[in-house]
Amino acid sequence: MHLILFLFFGGICVAGAVNLLVQRHPINSALSLVVVMASLAGEYLLLGAEFVAAIQVIVYAGAIMVLFIFTIMLLNAGEEVRSKGSRVAAMLGVPGVMIAGVLIAWILLRHSNTAAVSMFALPGDPRAIARLLFRDFLLPFEVTSVLILIAIMGAVVLASKPEAVARPSAAEPAQREVRELVASGRER
Amino acid sequence: MSITTFAIISIIKSAAVVFVLLTAVAYSVWLERKVSAHIQNRWGPTRVGPFGLLQPLADGVKFIFKEDLTQPYVYKTLYIASPIIAVVFAITAISVIPFGNSITIGPITTQLQITDLNIGLLVVLGITSMGVYGIALAGWSSNSKYSLLGGLRASAQMISYEVSLGLSLIPVLIFAGSFSLREIVNKQHHLHWNFFFFPFGTLAFFIYLISAYAETNRTPFDLPEAESELVAGYHTEYSAMKFAMFFMAEYSNMVTVACLSTLLFFGGWLGPVFGPPIVQSLLPVLWFCLKVFFFMFLYVWVRWTLPRFRYDQLMAFGWKVLLPAAIANLVLAALVVALKPGIWLVN
């Protein structure tokens, strides 16, 4: 039963990921990503990590992906045109993917005797996770939050554009023309 | 309990709960029409049945037999999928809501709840946070200006208020020490309702209530479907049963919010219990239903009393007032509990 569910969610996850790449419309790709996130939550649930699964759904599927879709809707992004693909991508990408695949297969085969994580072996309940986060790994946790804070500040700085006043806007040439017209009119 | 009995009991419970929920949804619409009418000194529905009580049935039949238009310019797959997404997530959220203590019929004892999870509250939050896709995608896939604006407003508003909603619930979790809704209720016995934990519980309740009104797109936060500017917002292009599905989603979200307010702040099914055993096991359900009914009434009352926010006011209120208030409330509540654990924790 466990294996069937694992394969079921894994299959959905992979199918969603492939669909993400194949789809031409950004909304469809974003929705495929939601499917990937949700099926990952299913996999976490199978490991007995119900708290992580719930957080995965709330944060990734419920909040971050909604922002993605919000942005796509706001920009009204249309369908992408299918190109033939760049030659650099074909020359570097195909060998790269092959090397990566061989490497992963090699590592998996070398460690094939390691035992899989058995069901409910991980600390899944919120109490255990809180103990890990706020006692055993307090410093990395706090450092990560500082890192996120820096990212937020960077985003604010990038978005606020204090130099926008000094920079010539797109309307500048037209405005100059109008100003010149008005000035020349006065002279006449 | 064998797996077959478990499956049978679960199916019966799910069917009963969904039936009750959908009936409650239908009669909330009746309640809304009736109360709004009386607030405006009218009669409301009176023709179909006594006090217009059969009006929801007539409405349902009408929705089924209306012509189901699909405009030629919509994105068809998502256009059809979005009302289904909205209604499915709205109804699923009820699955972890407990209605009362356990009940014993013959040899079988079962809890009055479809399933009791140790992360129950998170499940409700997760499911309701997925519900926004229904509305956002409806707005986008309709491919019309008003719908798109409605969908954009809905997703912006729901993301903004979700933050303060989540933060306002954490003091309750600190008081109870658990995510399980059943345990949160059991910690509130002897009128130790979280609402009465002044000031933290009370403040948390009001922040929760305001954010929940915004989450369910109800007045004064009903900008996604503001009819005076957006025709009907995200469901402008929907008709017949698809429109009814959005309606059902909205009202069952309201029921979920009313249930959560009852469970988290007003002691759930706790209340005076007396009489013979059968009455004793059913009285908690009655208290629960009465409290939920109060919150449903409050929804209608607020809707027909307050005017709508302006859009910038809505965003400023969410980010500049509610969010700081929720964070301050959380930090102070956590400090008090950490420094003087005896005062707040009941056991």
pLDDT tens digits along B16-72: 888 988 888 888 888 888 888 888 888 888 888 788 888 888 888 888 888 888 888
Q: Looking at beta carbons, which residues of chain B come within 8 Å of A55?
A: 122
State ipTM: 0.78
Mean pLDDT of B187-213: 84
Contact in structure between B158 and B132 (CB atoms under 8 Å)? yes
State pLDDT tens for residues B153-167.
888 888 888 888 989
Higher-confidence position of A161 and B345: A161
Kindly indicate the confidence band of residue B347, based on its pLDDT and cuts at 50, 70 and 90: very low
Domain ranges in chain A?
1-80+110-124, 129-163
Joined tokens for residue A20: 């993400």
Q: Is the pLDDT of residue B305 over 80?
A: yes
Grade residue B13 by pLDDT with cuts at 50, 70 and 90.
confident
pLDDT(A188) > 60: no
Q: Quick one: pLDDT band at residue B146, thresholds 50, 70, 90?
A: confident
Residue of B nearest to A25 (CA): B75
> Is A60 within 8 Å of chain B by CB?
no
Q: What is the pLDDT of residues B257-301, one digit of tens each?
A: 999 999 888 888 887 888 787 787 788 888 888 999 999 999 889
For a pLDDT cut of 70, what percent of chain B falls above it? 98
Whether residue A149 is predicted with pLDDT greater than 90 in this model: the reply is yes
Q: pLDDT value at position B1?
A: 67
Q: How far apart are the first and last CA of chain A?
A: 90
- The pLDDT score that the predictor gives to residue A100 is 93
B111 - beta bridge partners? B102
Q: Determine contact: B152 vs chain A, CB below 8 A.
A: yes
Mean pLDDT of the A6-20 span: 89
Cβ <8 Å between B137 and A67:
no
Residue from A35, A57, A68, A131 whose CB has the most chain B CBs within 10 Å, to mutate: A57
Q: Is B89 on the interface with A (CB under 8 A)?
A: no
A64 in B contact zone (CB under 8 Å): no
- The structure tokens listed for B56 are 């929801």
Query: CA angle B228-B139-B64, nearest 5°?
Result: 85
The per-residue pLDDT for range A46-65, each reduced to its tens digit, is 877 788 888 888 888 888 88
Contact B122 A55 (CB under 8 A): yes
Chain A residues whose CB is inside 8 A of the B130 CB are 57, 61-62
* Residue that is written with structure tokens 């969010």 in the block: B323
Q: In the structure, what pLDDT confidence band is assigned to residue A99 with cuts at 50, 70 and 90?
A: very high
Assess A129–B contact: CB distance below 8 Å, yes or no: no
Measure the CA–CA gap between A115 and A110, rounded to whole angstroms.
13
Portion of chain B with pLDDT greater than 90, in percent = 7
- Residues 121-150 (B) with a CB less than 8 A from some CB of A: 122-123, 125-127, 129-130, 132-133, 136-137, 139-140, 148
Residue type at B100? G
User: Where does the pLDDT of residue A116 fall: very low under 50, low under 70, confident under 90, or very high at 90 and above?
Assistant: low
Enumerate helices (H) and strands (E) in chain B, giving the number of each: 14, 2
Q: What is the pLDDT of residue A65?
A: 87
Interface test with A, best of B80, B96, B127, B130 (most A CBs within 10 A): B130
B78 touches chain A (CB under 8 A): yes
Enumerate the β-bridge partners of residue B104: B109
For residues A151 and A185, which has the higher predicted lDDT (pLDDT)?
A151
User: Model confidence at A114, in pLDDT bands (50, 70, 90)?
Assistant: low
pLDDT value, residue A46: 82
Instruction: Report the 10 Å Cβ neighbour count for A8.
Output: 14
Please indicate whether, in this complex, the C-beta atoms of B125 and A66 are within 8 angstroms of each other.
no
SS3 A25: coil
Q: Which class in CATH covers the domain with range A1-80+110-124?
A: mainly alpha
CB contact (8 A) between residue A73 and residue B148:
yes
Per-residue pLDDT, A146? 94
